Amino acid sequence: MRKKEGNKETAILEAAVKVFAEKGYHQSKISKIAEVAGVATGSVYLYYKSKEDIILKIFDQLWSKLSQELEQTIQRTDLDPVTKLDAIIDILFDSFTVNPALAIVFVNEQNQLMQQEKGNVAKLYKGFLDLSEKILREGVDKKIFNTNIDIILYRDFITGGLRALLHEWARRPEEFPLDQIRKNVKYIAKNGILIHHT
24 and 105 both lie in a single domain: no
Contacts of 31 (CB under 8 A, 6+ apart): 41
User: Is residue 83 located within the same domain as residue 8?
Assistant: no
Rounded distance, CA 43 to CA 12, Å? 9
Query: Which is nearest to 136 in space by CA: 95, 68, 78, 88?
Result: 88
Out of 32, 48, 64, a domain closes at 48
In a domain? residue 159: yes
**Structural domain for 41, as ranges:** 1-48
Q: Is the dihedral of CA 74, 77, 79, 80 positive or negative?
A: positive
Residue 196 covered by a domain: no
CATH number of the domain that residue 177 is part of: 1.10.357.10
What DSSP assignment string belongs to 59-73? HHHHHHHHHHHHHHH
**What is the C-alpha separation between 140 and 19, in angstroms, rounded?**
43
Claim to verify: residue 43 and residue 64 sit in the same structural domain: no
Q: Which amino acid is at 75?
A: Q
pLDDT at 176: 79
Q: Do 83 and 171 fall into the same domain?
A: yes
DSSP single-letter state for residue 3: P
pLDDT attached to residue 5: 57
Q: Kindly state whether residues 71 and 18 are assigned to the same domain.
A: no
Confidence of residue 74 (pLDDT cuts 50, 70, 90): very high
C-alpha span between 136 and 180 (Å, rounded): 23
118 and 103 together in one domain: yes
**Residues 122-128, mean pLDDT to the nearest whole number:** 92
- Reported as a single tens digit per residue, the pLDDT across 10-25 is 999 999 999 999 999 9
- Look at residues 92, 117, 118, 120 and name the one whose alpha carbon lies nearest to residue 106: 92
CA atoms within 13 A on the CB side of 90: 9
> Looking at the structure, do residues 59 and 41 belong to the same domain, yes or no?
no
Number of H helices, E strands in the chain: 9, 0
Output the pTM of the full model. 0.86
In this structure, are residues 55 and 33 in contact, taking their beta carbons and an 8 Å threshold? no
23-27, 64-68, 93-97: which has the minimum mean pLDDT? 93-97
Number of domains in the chain: 2
CATH code (residue 27): 1.10.10.60
**Would you say residue 197 lies in a domain?**
no
Beta bridge partners of 145: 194
Could you tell me if 56 and 21 lie in one domain? no
